[in-house]
Homo-oligomer: A and B are copies of this chain.
């Protein structure tokens, strides 16, 4: 409970930036959300961009942590690849603000602070590709094509993690919840089927 004002700023900013994007949120609005003035924010972080950078860095660290752990504990490539994606999915779904922010970084294509998020994503993708190339069914596929395969897994995970508001509006809360409850299992199924050797040539 001993969250410092500084940490609260980061948390509040993460939520607002996820909601409206970097340009959509003013530092005054972030301050107001906490009952403070924007100068309190500037006192702690110096500038809006630096605050944004810290938000991104915190998210990156979180998302990177699980990867290393799985790599070390799961030697079998199929299991490792599956678990790498599913763990990432769980993280993104459990922190939708983080998921949306990363997605925005993917879109923004500006030089701003997105280096932080990209470092994480690059490391993560690199690991996925390497693992994919160790899967028997994918061994002779080549790096670029392996990237295509794992990117589909990641897309299926990340896209859903970002879609709750829209899907809820479209299909209602109950249907969304049911879909969400099945999503991880279905994602596992999708991956498993793709990693299995091709069926006999009909």
Which of the segments A39-47, A48-56, A183-191 contacts the partner chain? A183-191
- Chain A 141-171 near chain B by CB (<8 Å), digits 1 or 0: 0111101110111111111101101110111
Bin chain A's interface residue count: 35 or more
Partner among B118, B147, B182, B199 whose Cβ is within 8 Å of the Cβ of A196: B199
- A18 nearest CB neighbor, chain B only: B107
Main secondary structure of the interface of A (DSSP, over half): helix
**Are the C-beta atoms of A159 and B155 separated by less than 8 Å?**
yes
The minimal Cβ–Cβ distance linking A98 to chain B, given in whole angstroms, is: 13
Q: Does A175 contact B (CB under 8 A)?
A: yes
Q: Does A103 contact B (CB under 8 A)?
A: yes
**Are the C-beta atoms of A148 and B179 separated by less than 8 Å?**
yes
The minimal Cβ–Cβ distance linking A102 to chain B, given in whole angstroms, is: 10
**Are the C-beta atoms of B23 and A21 separated by less than 8 Å?**
yes
- A104 nearest CB neighbor, chain B only: B107
**Are the C-beta atoms of A21 and B24 separated by less than 8 Å?**
yes
Contacts from A to B (Cβ < 8 Å): 18-24, 100, 103-110, 118, 121-122, 125, 142-145, 147-149, 151-160, 162-163, 165-167, 169-171, 175-176, 178-180, 182-183, 186-187, 189-190, 193-194, 196, 199
